[in-house]
Amino acid sequence: MPALPLDEAGKYVAGAYGVFVALILVYVSIMAARLQRIEREVQNLTELAERKLKGPR
Amino acid sequence: MLLTTAIALVFFYAPNDADQGFVQKIFYVHVPLAIVALIGFVAAGVMGVMHLRTRDDRWDQRSYVAIHMGVIFGVGVLATGAIWARASWGKWWVWDEPTLVSFLIVFLLYVTYYPLRYSIEDPQRRARYASVFAITAGAFVPINFIAVRLAESLVHPRVLNQTAGDMPGEMRLTFLVALAGMALLYIALVKLELTSKHARYELRRLRRLLEEEDRPSGAAAQPIATVPAKPN
């Protein structure tokens, strides 16, 4: 096949790089959501530990 | 930073391919993704060997994360490859091309890793079986690569041949920078995933310990072994 003209090839190149960026963004978003869950869990555990320290011994 | 440099080199330094023109720029994302994914699969096999040798669960974790990230990169390879194929050959997929079909087989093989891993409840057995899978599949990757090299290619170009794919200097430099950037991205994501898994495991362990303290003395004497197995 002959080389595509720049305007048409540009769409494919943008699509390929867009897929790559989207893939990384989706993964990073999932990791960010996980990190938020971990942060909440740390808060809960800190509160639990504080209650234990303040409670009757 | 290396990836940003690579993208700058792709669009402002590397010349357009004489045959394919501008669309060949996809090469700089498609091929590094494929190489890093395949090396990741082989590395997962090596980590599987380390797990079976040492029985250290951390190697199983590393092997799992290496495969997981390889599969994600594999999705990128298939998607960018399909786009490039459509632009170059006029088709999204060519079934009689050994390079494409062999990569799809490798990808689907690793997709079966997840059901295998999650179908086994006993953590020790799961880690053992997963390691055996990682080793077997990891050995299959280079064999498959060699087989494809020996086969006659119809349309897919060969990149890592003895003449370095006949790439001019600018293209080769851009490709190597892109490859290094992709490898560093892979390593960074693997580390991120491992750290996240380790943090969740430690938090779960801490919660168990705190909750056990609350229980009456008879029930509190539960062994640490009741802490859930390391996360998948």
pLDDT recorded at residue B227? 46
CB contact under 8 A, A12 and B86: yes
Residue range B54-77: mean pLDDT, rounded:
93
pLDDT recorded at residue B221? 45
B189 touching chain A per CB within 8 A: yes
Instruction: List B17's β-bridge partners, or say none.
Output: B21
**Chain A closest-CA separation from residue B23 CA (Å):** 5
In terms of residue numbers, what domain contains B50? Answer: 2-226
Closest residue by Cα to residue B103 from B134, B78, B84 = B78
Residue B232 forms part of a structural domain: no
The answer to whether B200 and A38 are in contact (CB under 8 A) is yes
CB contact under 8 A, A31 and B196: yes
Residue B116 forms part of a structural domain: yes
Residue B208 forms part of a structural domain: yes
Q: Mutate which of B80, B193, B203 to disrupt the A interface (most A C-beta within 10 Å)?
A: B80
pLDDT digits (tens, 9 = 90+) for A1-57: 666 666 777 888 999 999 999 999 999 999 999 999 999 999 988 888 888 888 765
**Chain A closest-CA separation from residue B37 CA (Å):** 14
Q: Give the Cα separation of B4 and B181 in Å (integer).
A: 8
pLDDT band at B149 (very low <50, low <70, confident <90, very high): confident
Residues 6+ positions from A1 with CB-CB distance below 8 Å: B88, B89, B90
B193, closest residue in chain A (CA to CA)? A31
Q: How far is CA B135 from CA A54, B99, B107, B149, B191, in A?
A: 52, 22, 15, 22, 21
Q: What dihedral angle (degrees, nearest 10) is formed by the CA atoms of B173, B183, A22, B194?
A: -170
Residue B231 forms part of a structural domain: no
Max intra-chain CA distance, chain B: 79
How many domains does chain B fold into?
Answer: 1
- Interface predicted TM-score (ipTM): 0.80
Q: Which residues of chain B neighbour A45 with C-beta distances below 8 Å?
A: 203, 206-207, 210
B92 touching chain A per CB within 8 A: no
Q: Mutate which of B10, B11, B22 to disrupt the A interface (most A C-beta within 10 Å)?
A: B22
Higher-confidence residue: B4 or B219? Answer: B4
